Amino acid sequence: MKKIVLIIQARMGSTRLPGKSLLTLAGKPLVGRILERVKKCKNIDQIVLAIPNTKENDPLDEIGKEYNVSTFRGSEFNLLERYYEAAKFSSSDYVVRLPADNATPEPSEIDKIIDHHISLKRAGFSSNLSSFFGSNYPDGIGAEIFDFNLLEEAYKNENDKQKLEHVHLNFFDYSTEKAVDSNWCPISTIKCPKEYSRPEIVLDINTIDQYIFIKELYEYLYIKNPNFTITDTLDWYDNFYKKNK
């Protein structure tokens, strides 16, 4: 049986919003809320929180312990290396990637992209992290999955600074919707269900305004239902958030 490992990248030194990993959502830090949600995934064998090996990131190590997930510490700026070493450390066959600024990952959607990728029965890169190829996914409820052997090849052969800092660019560029090499690493996605086909919705936290938005979302939804879904989020957005702005 091949091992599926979810690796969440997090660091305190975000350039756009420093310290965002510890910003609170309904009383708990962002990273904690993400871990709380992804632990409900059914297709994941192990969760690894991949953080930099600097003292500044010690609080993230403590959060990993609090939520009982593995922590791997590696390079701060060479994210490709950190992912590769974390994947190797956890003996993964399939690597599921999730950035720690996606505050409302949907466990069922992560499970769905894993099932899809494995069903293809070939190495490659699959994602429902955002909308591309007309998938119409909201930005931030899914994940990426790729085969460890492709990650290893990318790690051993890559020197481009952008690709060292952004793992997905070693396989696929979302902005251009182009594969690095579709023969070496074919790209795949799935169609978003119609009830939440909303590619204009962004559920990431990269700026203070995005944090305020997600904070309001959590304050409204989490108290009512800690397991709120994307349909709950869209109902809040359409019928409460927009009407009160």
pLDDT for 182:
97
Residue 49 — φ and ψ, nearest 5°? -95, 110
pLDDT for 14:
77
Is residue 180 in some structural domain? yes
Kindly list the averaged pLDDT for each block of 10 residues, start to end, along the chain of length 245: 96 86 96 98 98 95 96 94 96 96 97 98 97 97 98 89 93 96 98 97 96 97 96 96 83
Per the structure, the complete domain to which residue 21 belongs is given by 4-206
Domain count for the chain, please give it.
Answer: 1
Is residue 121 in some structural domain? yes
Is residue 234 in some structural domain? no
Is residue 37 in some structural domain? yes
SS3 labels along 119-173? HCCCCCEEECCCCCCCCCCCECCCCEEEEHHHHHHHHHHCCCHHHHHCHHHHCEE
Which DSSP string do the residues of 24-56 spell out, in sequence order?
EETTEEHHHHHHHHHTT-SS-SEEEEEEESSGG
* Spatial distance between the Cα atoms of 101 and 96, rounded to a whole number of angstroms: 15
Q: What is the pTM of this model?
A: 0.95
A 10 A CB-CB count for 165 gives 12
* Spatial distance between the Cα atoms of 214 and 219, rounded to a whole number of angstroms: 9
Measured in residues, the chain has a length of: 245
Is residue 239 in some structural domain? no
* Spatial distance between the Cα atoms of 220 and 30, rounded to a whole number of angstroms: 16
Cβ 103 vs Cβ 205: under 8 Å:
yes
Is residue 43 in some structural domain? yes
**Distances in whole angstroms, Cα of residue 82 to Cα of each of 71, 165, 175:** 11, 10, 23
Is residue 245 in some structural domain? no
Is residue 169 in some structural domain? yes
Return the CATH number at 37. 3.90.550.10
Task: Report the SS3 class of residue 11.
Answer: coil
pLDDT for 159:
77
